Every structure is written in C-alpha cells, then in structure tokens.
Amino acid sequence: MRKIETTSDVFLIGAGIMSATLGTLLKELVPEWKITVFEKLSKTGEESSNEWNNAGTGHAALCELNYTAEKPDGSVDISKAININEQFQVSMQFWSYLVKNRLIHNPQDFIRQLPHMSLVQGEQNVEFLKKRFEALSNNPLFQGMEFSEDPEKLMEWIPLIMQNRSTHEPVAATKIDSGTDVNFGALTRMLFAHLESKDVHINHNHSVTDIKRTSDGLWELKVRNLESGTVEHHKAKFVFIGGGGGSLHLLQKSGIPEGKHIGGFPVSGIFMVCNNPKVIEQHHAKVYGKAKVGAPPMSVPHLDTRFIDNKKSLLFGPFAGFSPKFLKTGSVFDLVTSVKPDNLLTMLAAGAKEMSLTKYLIQQVMLSKEQRMEELREFIPNAKSEDWDLIVAGQRVQVIKDTEDGGKGTLQFGTEVITSEDGSIAALLGASPGASTAVQVMLEILRKCFPQYITGWEPKIKEMIPSYGLPLMENRELLREVHLSTAETLCLSEKEPVFS
Ligand SMILES: Cc1cc2nc3c(=O)[nH]c(=O)nc-3n(C[C@H](O)[C@H](O)[C@H](O)COP(=O)(O)OP(=O)(O)OC[C@H]3O[C@@H](n4cnc5c(N)ncnc54)[C@H](O)[C@@H]3O)c2cc1C
C-alpha cells in the first residue's frame, strides 16, 4: 500500500500569482483550513509571474488597443475594456485590504502609478484613437484620459518617442495618469511569505506528476521530490491547478470530463531591455501601439517604464515567438505530449486555421537583433543597438477549444477556468489579461467550487473588496471612494518616485 505523506484541505499546485491569490483569499475566509503548496522550482514566482517574464502592466484597459475593437459600423466597442477595468478595480481593492491590514507591506515594492498611453500613426489610426477616446472618456471608469495630436503636447508627454520623428504622417496619443506598473513577481513573493507565516507549507522542488481521484472522494497527488529523487503521495479535498503553462498537462492527468477536448498553443516572448541610464530617464509611461496585421493581440510591443528592485528600467516588447515548451523551464516535448485522443481533432482544426499565426510566430523567432531594433525605432526613432539587450520573457499557453462562434479548434486569447462538476478541482488555463485580474478569477473559482460556503463568506469578501458584486461603473460614489482609498493605501501618486 502507498504511504500517504500528508493530508490537507487544499492543495495549490504551482507557486505563481494565481495560487498566491487563491491561497491568500482562502486564508482570510477560512483560516483553519490546511493549505499545502507544491512548486517544482526552487523559489516562488519564477515562471510567468516573475517581473522579468511579464510586462508588469496593471491591465485596466487604459492603453491596450486590442480591448476596444472597431465595429463594422465604425463605432468602437468598449464593453471588453469596461469588463477588464472593473476586474482590475477588484484586484486593487484586495491589495489595498492586504496592505491596510498589514498582511503585506511596502506597496511601492510591487505597485507604482505610471501614465498609460496609446500611440498611433497614420490618418486612419488617428481617427480610430479619437473615436476610442470619445467613447472611453465619457465613462467614469476612464476619467482623466486625455487625447492629443499636437506635436508639442506629445513632445511634452513622450520626448523620447517624439525626438527626431518624421512629421510626414499624423501621430496621436491618449494619456491617463492613473495607470500602474505592477511587479507581479514581488507581489507573488510577498503573498507567499504571508501565507508561510500563517502555516501554509510551501514544498519547493516538488513536481506534481499525477492527480487521481481516490475511492474516499479525495484527490491524491503523486509528487516527485526533485532534491531527494523520491516519489511522494499526498491527499486533499480540493485541488487548484495553478501551474501556469503546466496546468494543461495536469488537468489532463486528473481525467475530469471538463478537461477534455482542450488543447494549448504556446507563444513565447522576448523583451529588449535598455542599458543606458540616460535613455531610461527620458521616458516615464507605458506606451502601447497598434498590433501589426497577423500579430496575436497580446504580442503588441510596447515601450514601458518599469520599476524593478526599486530601480527605474525601460523595456520594449514582448516580441512574440514560437517554442514548443509550455513553461520557460519546460520541455520541448510539451506541445506534442499535450495532444491526446480527445483533443486531437480540436488541435488539428486549430493547426489548419492558425497556419498564418504559426508562420508569423516562426518569422518572429527568426528576427535578428537589428530587425528588432527597426521595430523599436518605430517608437524611438534614434534608438542605438548598443543601448539595448535581449532577454527571454515568459511562456504563454493559449487555450484551443471548440466554440459555438468559432467552431472546432478555436484559439482563445483570454483566461479559462475549468472546474469539475462537484467543484473539488479547478484549473486555470490561458494567459490574458492574466495576473492583473487574478483576484476576480480566483473569486470565480470560489463561487464555482464552494457554492455551499459562498453566502456565508460574503460579508468578509465585501470587507476585502467593497465593490464585490456591484458594477462600479453604475456606482459612481463607490467608484470615487475606491479610487481614493486604493490610491492612498497603495501610495499611488502622480509624482515620479525618487530613487536613491
Ligand atoms: C510575455 C508575457 C507578458 C505578460 N504581461 C502581463 C502584463 O503586463 N500584465 C498582466 O497582468 N499579465 C501579464 N502576463 C500574464 C501573467 O504573467 C500570467 O497570467 C500570470 O503570471 C500567470 O500566473 P500563474 O500563477 O498562473 O502562472 P506562473 O506564474 O507561470 O506559475 C505557475 C507555477 O507552477 C509551477 N508548476 C508548473 N507545473 C508544475 C508541476 N507539475 N508541479 C509543480 N509545480 C508546477 C511553475 O514552476 C510555476 O512556478 C504576461 C505573460 C507573459 C508570458
């Protein structure tokens, strides 16, 4: 008989921002539950959640043009932008609660206020941006957004981008000062440090290799201890698969019917990092452009001021690329081994449909540094090669599934929560808008997996997230209060922080 090493109420697989958020929510709601984490790497937050592996944008749809599509009648659809902004407000409230109650400290170590801007060039694009601005700026969620096509104003906002720019084509931008740069790596580490102080045991160097339902209705994990090389077995009532790119394989191992007919398509990324302090100092914003034809929506390069290790940095990217790995530290066999009899047709259909995307990604991988510099020069016309280095970003695995609208094998660009019918296991797949909306996504898991408790938990959830269950857009007074109190608690100010 197998020896069961430990039994828990909750297992969190993966020590990224998603598990950190779910664990923290659960510890506030039911402190007595025993929570255990298994992470295959030696540290927390080392995959997509790490600060160098993602772009650190607090996605509130303030600058990302792919969240506001132009409709065939020429008007701009802002429903997705509203949805993402509302979700980000939920995260901001939860982080504020944690800081106010001293569960985590020094908010400036993980969040900074930073203008979010959209920048376009060419008459048609300027027209689109103007329409987008008009549609958003009337909405209370996007108040404070400015639009300009005046080169002098733009020079004031983004000198690095406007210097030496040819004036043949019109340029326009929107700017909103209340945007944020979020260090999700630092936040993940803070949340796990807090969880450890509350007796949550984090097993680093432990790779989960199998998940099985047992006859007593629990879930048994087969775990390889990568340090000792031994195999362990652990049991829990509830399992969250927060393995990032590793989630799909684990979901497949669980055998739940809800995990069938789903595939994954990996998209890798590369950032360019500026190594010249004089250039870094000339920029202070996240500036998103418009996607090139054929580019996947989450791979629109942007020029971002970042705050990492209390230092101002400047990053450009991510450039999309193709690698068959599902995690940055994954295996080249990840894509092949994710194809199972139940998702084969779905994957084949996606393969046929997405030939142009695959071609685009492969072309992107082949780009030389100088070709990448040419893309950067669309933002900084006189950018010099020697000022920029390439670094490999995190890996995203986009979900492929059969949908009513898209048919068989449709590539999804959002996040997908998969839960078993009885709510005893949940997995998070997909990538965008990702870490920014972790709190809302984890609340969805609580609602789906713990329906018997959720009503009893509501008062505490409302204490943590005052807008819980209420659309902020329709509650202007509450929105004002939320903006004021989160800005104060999270120390978000318009002033540029001074570094020693
Ligand atoms: C290039 C790029 C840019 C991005 N930009 C942004 C952005 O600007 N804003 C934003 O909000 N989001 C962004 N995202 C998305 C965001 O980074 C992710 O949504 C988020 O970090 C996912 O968190 P996670 O906890 O699910 O996964 P991860 O952080 O990847 O954590 C998963 C963990 O599970 C572990 N694991 C996997 N398999 C196993 C196993 N079998 N056993 C044990 N452990 C396992 C891994 O080692 C890893 O530590 C970006 C992502 C990428 C790749």
> What was the pLDDT predicted at 498?
47
Residue closest by Cα to atom 19 of ligand 1: 434
- With a pLDDT cut of 70, the percent of the chain lying above it is 97
Residue 318 CB–ligand 1 contact under 6 Å = yes
pLDDT value at residue 6: 86
**Mean per-residue pLDDT, 458-468:** 98
Q: What pLDDT, on a 0 to 100 scale, did the predictor assign at position 1?
A: 61
Nearest residue (CA) to ligand 1, atom 4: 54
The answer to whether the CB of 330 is under 6 A from ligand 1 is no
pLDDT digits (tens, 9 = 90+) for 341-370: 999 999 999 888 888 887 788 888 888 899
Q: Is 394 in the pocket of ligand 1 (CB under 6 A)?
A: yes
Q: How far is the CA of 361 from the centre of ligand 1 (A)?
A: 20
Residue 54, ligand 1, Cβ within 6 A: yes
Taking CA atoms only, the protein residue closest to ligand 1 atom 2 is 54
Instruction: Out of 11-25, 312-326, 486-500, pick the least confident.
Output: 486-500
- Ligand 1 contact, 434 CB (< 6 A): yes
Cα end-to-end span (Å), the chain: 60
Specify the pLDDT at position 290: 87
Residue 497 has pLDDT above 70, yes or no: no
pLDDT at site 456: 98
- Any ligand 1 atom below 6 A from CB of 185: no
* Cα–ligand 1 centroid distance for 244 (angstroms): 5
> What is the tens place of the pLDDT at every residue in 113-135?
999 999 999 999 999 999 999 99
Q: Is the Cβ atom of 266 under 6 angstroms away from ligand 1?
A: no
pLDDT digit string, tens, across residues 4-51: 788 999 999 999 999 999 999 999 999 999 999 999 999 999 999 999
The answer on pLDDT for 296 being more than 80 is no
Q: What is the per-residue pLDDT for 481?
A: 95
Give the atom of ligand 1 at the shortest distance from the alpha carbon of 56. 8
Whether residue 15 has its Cβ less than 6 Å from ligand 1:
yes
- pLDDT tens digits, residue range 237-263? 999 999 999 999 999 999 999 999 999
- β-strand partners of 118: 174, 288
Q: pLDDT at residue 500 above 50? A: no
pLDDT in tens, 176-217: 999 999 999 999 999 999 999 999 999 999 999 999 999 999
CA of 245 from ligand 1 middle (Å) equals: 7
Determine contact, residues 364/319, Cβ cutoff 8 Å.
Answer: yes
For 99-108, write each residue's pLDDT tens digit: 999 999 999 9
Is 225 touching ligand 1 by the criterion CB < 6 Å? no
Query: Ligand 1 within 6 A of 436 CB?
Result: yes
Residue 298 has pLDDT above 50, yes or no: yes
Position 495 confidence tier, pLDDT thresholds 50, 70, 90? low
Average pLDDT, whole number, for the chain? Answer: 93
What does pTM read for this prediction?
A: 0.96
Of 42, 49, 272, 326, best ligand 1 pocket probe by most atoms within 8 Å of the beta carbon: 49
Q: Is 40 in the pocket of ligand 1 (CB under 6 A)?
A: yes
Task: Give the pLDDT confidence score for residue 142 in this predicted structure.
Answer: 96
Tell whether ligand 1 has an atom less than 6 A from the beta carbon of residue 301.
Answer: no
Whether the pLDDT of residue 218 is over 90: the answer is yes
